[in-house]
Structures are given as C-alpha cells and as structure tokens.
Amino acid sequence: MITIGRKDKIDLPELGFFNIDAKVDTGAYGSALHCHHVEVVERDGNPILSFKMFDPSHPEYDDKVLYFEDFSDKTVKSSSGQAEHRYTIKAKVVIFKKKRVVEFSLTDRKEMKYPVLLGRKFLRNRYVVDVQQVDISYNLKKSKL
C-alpha cells in the first residue's frame, strides 16, 4: 500500500483543475468537491447537472459552468451528522502519477479549509494514512519536473 499524508494536492484533469488541496479524511466514507450553483437543467429533453467549482473567494475560481450528463443523487451524512441530499459525479483524479475514477458528492465546503475531501472509499485497499505527512504525491510530482 502507498503511504499518503493527511493532505495532498490532486489533479482533476477533466475538470481543468490542477494541484488542488485535498484533505484525506478516514472519518468520511465518500469523497466530496466544493461547488456552488449546483442544479439540474434540461438540454434537448435530457437532465444535465450543472455547477461551478469552488466559489468566488477561492483562488482557483474561474466562474466556469461545468456540465455532466452522467450523474446521480443520494443522501449522505454531512460532517455535522445531518442527512443531506447531494448530487454525485465521477471524475478522474491524478495522484501518485496514477489516474483513478472517483465518485464525488457536490457540496458547499467554503467553510472548510480544503475544497476536496478524499474519504475511506477512495483510500480503501490502496493507501495507508500517515497523519504526520503532507503533500507526499505532490512533492514526488515536483521532484520529477
């Protein structure tokens, strides 16, 4: 298994974002992305999920609307213990030079320190978490540039 720290930087190439801070959270089952203006719109009679990544206060915010035809919705338990309805998407994540498709729930994380949360479902059978470490994958990536 690969050692990952309590936080790292990930790439979301399909979404056009690179070196995004992600919190590794063994207390969370799923993974989450910080988004706003999340809504289902209709295009040619088909439902399409639209949203904007981050929020205007985030340095990577670009006001670009992203669209996903393949999405689902589910009820998840928030960090405060409340059941919430959230839309989910699958997106490629690059970490430790490997691409993985990860399911993310879309939620407002502006009050949180990190815009991305990587939960146990992401970590399972691949990573062991060393809470004293940070940016292990990112530092490997930088050293190879």
Distance between CA 119 and CA 74 in Å, rounded? 16
Domains and CATH numbers, the chain: 2-143 (2.40.70.10)
Do 107 and 77 meet the contact criterion of CB atoms below 8 Å apart?
Answer: no
Do 122 and 102 meet the contact criterion of CB atoms below 8 Å apart?
Answer: yes
Question: Whole-prediction pTM value?
Answer: 0.90
Pick the closest to residue 88 from 107, 101, 61 (CA basis). Answer: 107
Secondary structure (3-state) at 138: helix
pLDDT string in tens for the chain (145-residue length): 999 999 999 999 999 999 999 999 999 999 999 999 999 999 999 999 999 998 888 888 888 999 999 999 998 877 677 888 999 999 999 999 999 999 999 998 877 889 999 999 999 999 999 999 999 999 999 887 6
